[in-house]
Each structure stands twice: as structure tokens, then as C-alpha cells.
Amino acid sequence: MNALEWQGDSLKIIDQTKLPLFLSYIVCSDYERIVQAIRRLEVRGAPAIGACAAFALVLAARKNACLPKPDFLNALRAAKVEIAGARPTAVNLFWALERVWRRAADNENDVAKTADAMEAEAVAIFNEDIAANKKIGEYGAAVLPEKCAVLTHCNAGALATCGWGTALGVIRAAFSQGKITMVYADETRPLLQGARITAWELVEDNIPVTLVTDSTAGWVMKKDLAQVIITGADRIALNGDTANKIGTFTLAVLAKRHNIPFYIAAPVSTIDFSIKTGEEIPIEERAAEEVRSVLGASVAPETVKVFNPAFDVTPNELISAIITEKGLLYPPYEGKISSLKE
């Protein structure tokens, strides 16, 4: 199950807004369609949108490969600004764009060769993400108890990444070792990534899953139904403060109250080495309509005011460990996170 498939001259993505009712695909043959797909959440999840941004810049390069290098770079600069504006919180998007941009801006004057190098970089980002997820899965599974039920939020699975998943990567690896008795999936309002995508991925993989409303999570912990919480991340600051899907902070507070380990699983590409704390993380606010309705059906007065942040920030002191492809980081995070910068 792959969210993305690079086809050489286009990017094929699963339309995640249609899941689980329809497994349908969108073929993006220009960068503008990828930007639209990221904005609409047809493709979502921090590592997946990072890879999409990388391939978007490659498509922009192919489109402008007839221009002399200075004009080519000007056209790419404009495309890069547009791609960077697709979503603000997941740092993977900016990280991947910069990696591919560096290939564009190197000393090669042959534009076709430059575009080839950019494509190779985007493909490397894609492959490295799958390898990172596998490592995260191994490291994470190793610290889980012999038998446990896990609660997760949103979707940090194969569809949120280039394959396998971060939080779900840990769950997949631990399940294959016989450690997982149950996964509790929060439905994750407003857009129901937990119900629509996490539950679907786990059902497809025959991993036992129980869907709960977001407001049931505290009771799940109180009743000792889940012994571990694992979520993904969209941006991690140098002190360990972590942005993830709205509701993650609430889970971390509840986990502390019930003495349950709360893990963040994320690749190093999700660390923002330029920011000291979570205060500096830009939080996306999305349309009011997402809250006033459920799957297109209105559930609130049409004119009611809405507050719809897509993410919240969990302070580092609530995070038991951050599971990366380089191993587990335990608090205090200062110094340990910055040492991961290559």
C-alpha cells in the first residue's frame, strides 16, 4: 500500500479524501496539481507531503527544461514558493524542497542534467523515508512490553509516509513480534484520519483495531485498555516540543495522569533544527466548514464561529521518548536532538 508512486513524468497518489469508501488515484502531471493535492489533503502526513513537494519541484524542472539555466532557476524559484505555501506545519515539506533545490542550484549548466539530478534526489528522499520508517519500527518495537495494547491518533501509517509508517511502523513491527494485543485508533475529528485511514490500514493488515471517538481516549487509559500511546509528528523543535495532529497534546496530558508512556515516532526529517522550542512552530488553521460538517453533511448552525487548528504542540516534558531511525531519544532532549543534524 503506497500513498505515492513516481512514474517518471508524473506522480500517482491515492486520493486519501475518498478512503475508505473508494480506493482511487490521482495522477499529477504538473506541480500545480501536487500543490492542490497537498492543500486538499488528498495526500497528507508529514513525510508523504515532503516527498510530494520534492517531486513537484522535479515536475517544475521538467516543464522548464527548455530554458537557459538562469531563466530555468527563476521559474523554479517561483514554483518553489508556491509549493512551500501548500501547508505550513510539517517541516518535511520545506526540508525536502531545499534538498531538491540544492541540486537545481548547483554548478551544472546543462539544464537536462540538472533536472535528472533533481529527480535522483527526490527518489532518494522517497527511498530513504521507507528505510527510516523500517528502522523506527525496529527501534520502537524493541521498547514495547511483551504484550500491550496501543492507542494512536490521526494517521502516521504507510499512507502518511512513503511506505510502512512511523507510529504504525512501530505497531506493524511489534505486531509481527506478537507484542500487540489491540490498537485503539482515535477517529481524529475534524477530518477523521484515524477512522478513515488508520482503521483502514490496520483492517487491511489484519492487525486488531478498535475505533474510538477522540473523547473516549481518556476513558481507555483509565480502564487500562491501552498501556502505550504512540503518535507521529509534523515538526519537532530542538528541545523536543512536538507538533502533531490536534488532540495529541490532550492525549499526552492524559497519558501523564495515568502513568502511561507517550511516544513520538518520527524520522529525523521531521526535526526543525532551526527552532529552539515549539513556540516557534507555525500552526495551520483550516476552514470552519471542516468542523461545521462531517463528510459533507452539516452538523452545526451554518453561521457558528469555529476554531480549527490542524495541529497542537505537545511540550517535551510530556514525551517519554522520541523514536527516530537513529534510535530512541530520551529526555532531556536538549543537545541530543541537535546532535542528529548531519
Site residues (vs ligand MRU, CB under 6 A): 44-47, 90, 154, 156, 160-161, 166, 193, 231-234, 244-245, 310
Residue 78 Cβ vs ligand MRU, minimum distance, rounded to whole Å: 25
Which residues does residue 245 pair with via DSSP β-bridges, in sequence order? 311
Catalytic, 234? Answer yes
Residue 146 Cβ vs ligand MRU, minimum distance, rounded to whole Å: 26
Q: Which three cell numbers stand for residue 306?
A: 469555529
Residue 46 Cβ vs ligand MRU, minimum distance, rounded to whole Å: 4
As a whole number of angstroms, the distance between CA 316 and CA 238 comes to 10
Residue 110 Cβ vs ligand MRU, minimum distance, rounded to whole Å: 37
From the candidates 30, 186, 224, 234, give the one annotated as an active-site residue: 234
Residue 332 Cβ vs ligand MRU, minimum distance, rounded to whole Å: 23
Nearer to ligand MRU, 114 or 166 (CB): 166
Which residues does residue 165 pair with via DSSP β-bridges, in sequence order? 157
Q: Which three cell numbers stand for residue 237?
A: 523543535
Longest dimension (CA), the chain: 66
Burial of 279 (0-12, 13-18, 19+ CB in 10 A): exposed
Nearer to ligand MRU, 104 or 230 (CB): 230
Residue 68 Cβ vs ligand MRU, minimum distance, rounded to whole Å: 38
- For CA atoms 127, 155, 229, 88, the dihedral sign is positive
* Contact (Cβ atoms closer than 8 angstroms) between residue 323 and residue 299: no
As a whole number of angstroms, the distance between CA 247 and CA 276 comes to 22
Residue 104 Cβ vs ligand MRU, minimum distance, rounded to whole Å: 26
Q: Which of 282, 278, 229 is CA-nearest to residue 251?
A: 229
Q: Which residue's Cβ has the minimum distance to ligand MRU?
A: 232
Nearer to ligand MRU, 72 or 184 (CB): 184
* Contact (Cβ atoms closer than 8 angstroms) between residue 291 and residue 300: yes
Nearer to ligand MRU, 67 or 283 (CB): 283
Report the 10 Å Cβ neighbour count for 155.
32
Alpha helices in 105-182 (DSSP H): 111-143, 167-176
Nearer to ligand MRU, 122 or 160 (CB): 160
As a whole number of angstroms, the distance between CA 257 and CA 264 comes to 18
Which residues does 262 contact at the CB level (< 8 Å), separation at least 6?
229, 251, 252, 255, 256, 314, 318, 319, 320
As a whole number of angstroms, the distance between CA 314 and CA 297 comes to 31
As a whole number of angstroms, the distance between CA 260 and CA 253 comes to 10
Q: Catalogue the active-site residues.
A: 234
